[in-house]
Structure 1
Amino acid sequence: MRTVAFILFLAIISSCKQEKKIAEGPSQMEEVMAIHDEVMPKMGTLSKLVAELKEKVDSTDTGKEYEMAMKDLQEANKSMMDWMMGFGNRFDSDEILEGKELSPEKQVWLNEEEEKVKEVAKKINTSIAKAEVLIKE
């Protein structure tokens, strides 16, 4: 239940857009959220591909390739869910949505979260690309 509430919270966050001053570029928080917003819509694709691959898994070498691709997709999905949970535990809505100034400790955390979300995005994009190639073969 807590995960569902958190996912809804992030969906609301990603749909809310702050008014930006033209002279300023996006903040680091906005950049982190932009990476999240770029890959979050691909979560449905992950689920669809898992379902397609699951039907093709068997004991043959090709079936094992499908299984590995399916596991990569599942791992990418889990990494996104874990990242969102950890991110939500570290930052409050004012920091995420309103640009509230971060403490020095939270700035270090944001640096860490930026690297983590980049890795999550890479996992998602790579696992989708691999699965799509396998399914087309």
Structure 2
Amino acid sequence: MKVRPFPLFVLFFVLQFSCTAEKDENVILKEQVIAIHDEVMPEIGTLRSRQKKLEEKADSLMQEAGTQESDGQVQELLAAAQSCEAAYDGMFVWMRQFESEYEDMTEEEVRMYLEDQMQKVERVKQDIQSALTRSDALLNANP
């Protein structure tokens, strides 16, 4: 039986190329996950600031009057402050659990992990944007 080197070379090249392509896709996916994090991370300080302002406004309303209308506004302000805190915490929970090294994973496992992380960081982004939008509306509303 004679071994033909050319078909083996072609097979090796095809296998190498397919693994490299999957690895490149994972690198791109990881960069996309990190980019989303980098996009919303600067808003973390704003979340804390808005949370404090919402709580101060709620305290002020509680001291002014005890009407049902003001009670409803207080509850809404406190709920918005809580959503700011939850969004803030969500970012740091995600950051603590995110793994950036994948030595013991196959390329397929890495892809699945990164796709899962993409969904999680998208949720963090959505929570942050939602909390900021809600707090902005409440803080800029006429008292």
Q: Which structure 2 segments of 5+ residues have no match? A: 1-23
CA distance in 2, matches of 1:111, 1:86: 14
CA distance in 2, matches of 1:71, 1:51: 10
CA distance in 1, matches of 2:132, 2:100: 29
Q: Which amino acid aligns with 1:70?
A: A
Instruction: Provide the residue aligned with 1:48 in structure 2.
Output: 49
The one of 92, 113, 118 equivalent to 1:114 is 118
Larger Rg: 2
The answer to whether 1:135 aligns with 2:139 is yes
Report % sequence identity.
Answer: 29
Q: Which amino acid aligns with 2:50?
A: L
**1:38-117, aligned counterparts within 5 Å?**
38-57=39-58, 58=62, 60-87=71-98, 90-92=99-101, 103=106, 104-117=108-121
Instruction: Provide the residue aligned with 1:37 in structure 2.
Output: 38
SS of structure 2 residue aligned to 1:27: helix
With structure 1 as the length reference, what TM-score do the two structures score? 0.70
Q: Which amino acid aligns with 1:91?
A: S
Deviation (angstroms), 1:82: 0.5
Deviations along 1:65-117, one digit per CA (max 9) or x if unpaired, are: 10000000111011101000010xx223xx6xxxx9x6232221111000000
Structure with bigger helix share is: 2
Deviation (angstroms), 1:41: 0.2
Q: Which amino acid aligns with 1:135?
A: L
CA distance in 2, matches of 1:106, 1:77: 27
CA distance in 2, matches of 1:56, 1:62: 10
CA distance in 1, matches of 2:119, 2:72: 35
